[in-house]
Amino acid sequence: MGALSTGRVRPLRVAFQSLGCPKNAVDAQSLASILRADGFDCVTQPHRADVLIVNTCGFVDDAKIESVETLMNALRWKHSRSGRRVFAMGCLTQRDGEEVAESLPELDGVFGIGEWSRMIEALGANPVASNAAPISEHVASAGPGSAYLRISDGCSHACAFCAVPQMRGLYRSIPTEDLLEEARRLVESGVREIILIGQETTGYGVDLYRERRVVDLCFRLSEMNDLHWIRVLYTHPPSTPPSLLEELARVPKLAPYLDYPIEHASDRMLQRMNRRTSAARMKEAIAAFRSVRPGAAVRTTVLIGFPGERDEDFDALCRFMEEVRFERAGAFVYSPQDDTAGSAFSDAVEEGIALDRLDQLMRLQQRICAETHQTLVGSAMDVLIERTVRGASWGRSGWDAPDIDGRVRVEGVHPLGSIVTGTVTRAYAYRLDVRPHPRRSENALRESWDMPSRPALSR
């Protein structure tokens, strides 16, 4: 029975609140596409909705707390008007669904990852519609002119701090031809930047093709004429040799950006985290990428306060950050996750010590960002425009991924989703100001790089 047969004069209205990473956003937007195909009206404002679906995150304790608070707020929304319903889905409910249902019995349904058929059944919908447009299961908007393309899901690694394999299962690549078809539709719709996401993108293809194919995928995406940037997130240092980063750096339309989450730089802590790499190997890989793509930003993520972290381990991490000088970095404090190796360690770091280390590290990184940005003053930069405010435009440079990195202010009003090339006139730690060039090709910055030809791929 479809959504239109509920006895309502109008279609049932559904709103989403999606928490956590872009992979969660892909799940939410995929489900929204299915609901639209069955006649539901997916709205962006909860006050207009009959049903609110909260897509939860369970990666760390702070994310769990945020998810529960969001669900409690959603229940208050439910009780403010008769007939409203609230469903929970996502990573937290995948792992702790029974606990969530018991603690919040007023929820109308609790579903794990991918349990869309059950949710659709609870809504009274038929997921198959004869005249429906193609439904994307791998795509989510990342803002004007930009979209996430999920190339894999799950993870087969066993990092001691991470519960992703328990929540999302083992690593699963999406076939290349399916991804290319999705990408063509995105580019035809006006998307200028495609952001490849997965639990770890550098393992793409190993399960399907018995070889890494992320570089092949990026080269094929580069052949799409109206695509400007390909951005690759969530590379996995233990499975990313220098040769792979050199190949990736040669992709013609690769944004000048590498997301390379080191998590730590003390070899003792890396071993405890089961990261299967070393500080020296990671430094070599970063150098290999920069040697081919000079002027690119390397972003990292760092985990502070993992059990057993000593002062000398933290000092080694700070020295590494100072030596490598990441253009972008984020950090978070460890929180134990059930059924992971880290949760069994007894030598926890005191919360106060971990927070002090986090503050020290981020002050170090803020200084590095400010110094690095000053070197950009007077240089050319491409900016993807995302909004306009009071006669100026705001967007992201090639150095900036959505929601996690810096912002760029561009003089004048420019179309949302367009690429503007200009000169950096002023620099701050987390912001740049740009004056647009009068008549500059939007490919000018990329064409100015001395890009080597593509070598034979190593497998």
Same domain as 304, residue 352: yes
Return the sign of the alpha-carbon dihedral for residues 21, 22, 28, 30. negative
What is the predicted pLDDT for the residue at 62? 82
DSSP string covering 168-183, please? H-S-EEPPHHHHHHHH
Same domain as 334, residue 433: no
Same domain as 415, residue 289: no
What is the predicted pLDDT for the residue at 339? 84
Any idea what the CATH number is for the domain that residue 401 is in? 2.40.50.140
Residue 307 lies in a domain: yes
Task: Give yes or no for a contact between 434 and 383, defined as CB atoms under 8 angstroms apart.
Answer: yes
pLDDT digits (tens, 9 = 90+) for 219-236: 999 999 999 999 999 999
Residue 427 lies in a domain: yes
For residue 103, the tally of other CB atoms under 10 A from its CB is 12
pLDDT digits (tens, 9 = 90+) for 386-428: 999 999 999 999 999 999 999 999 999 999 999 999 999 999 9
Same domain as 200, residue 333: yes
Same domain as 99, residue 160: no
Same domain as 320, residue 191: yes
Task: Give yes or no for a contact between 166 and 339, defined as CB atoms under 8 angstroms apart.
Answer: yes
Same domain as 53, residue 154: no
Same domain as 419, residue 366: no
Q: Which domain holds residue 358?
A: 139-371
Same domain as 325, residue 392: no
State the pLDDT confidence band at 138, using cuts at 50, 70 and 90: confident
- Residue 15: exposed, middle, or buried by beta-carbon count in 10 A (0-12, 13-18, 19+)? buried
* Largest separation between any pair of C-alpha atoms in the chain: 67
pTM comes to 0.85
pLDDT score of 452 more than 70: no
Residue 129 lies in a domain: no
Residue 191 lies in a domain: yes
What is the predicted pLDDT for the residue at 454? 43
Tell me the residue type at 151.
I
pLDDT digits (tens, 9 = 90+) for 346-377: 999 999 999 999 999 999 999 999 999 999 99
What pairs with residue 396 in β-bridges? 384
Residue 93 lies in a domain: yes
Helix (H), strand (E) counts: the chain: 14, 19
Any idea what the CATH number is for the domain that residue 43 is in? 3.40.50.12160
Question: In sequence order, which residues have a C-beta less than 8 Å from that of residue 311 and are 6 or more positions away?
Answer: none
pLDDT score of 447 more than 70: no
Q: Which of 314, 345, 371 is the last residue of a domain?
A: 371
Please tell me which of 78-82, 192-196, 446-450 the model is most confident about, judged by mean pLDDT.
192-196
Task: Give yes or no for a contact between 148 and 139, defined as CB atoms under 8 angstroms apart.
Answer: yes
Average the pLDDT over 281-304 and give the result: 97
Q: Which long-range contacts (CB under 8 A, 24 or more apart) does 411-415 make?
A: 411/435, 411/436, 412/436, 413/388, 414/385, 414/388, 415/385
Q: Which of 314, 340, 371 is the last residue of a domain?
A: 371
pLDDT score of 456 more than 70: no
Same domain as 388, residue 366: no
Residue 187 lies in a domain: yes
Decide: helix, strand or coil at residue 273.
coil
- The count of domains in the chain is 3
What is the predicted pLDDT for the residue at 95? 83
What is the predicted pLDDT for the residue at 136? 63
Same domain as 156, residue 115: no
What's the mean pLDDT when you consider all of the chain?
A: 89
Residue 164 lies in a domain: yes
Average the pLDDT over 250-259 and give the result: 97
* Residues 148, 131, 43, 414, Cα dihedral to 10°: 50
Residue 403 lies in a domain: yes
Decide: helix, strand or coil at residue 229.
strand
pLDDT score of 131 more than 50: no
Q: Which residues of 380-405 are buried (b: 16+ CB within 10 A; e: fewer)?
A: ebbbbbbebeeeebbbbbbbbbbeeb
Q: Which of 349, 371, 393 is the last residue of a domain?
A: 371
Same domain as 356, residue 311: yes
- Three-point CA angle 350, 353, 355, nearest 5°: 110
pLDDT score of 135 more than 70: no
Exposure on the CB side of residue 91, measured as CA atoms within 13 A: 31
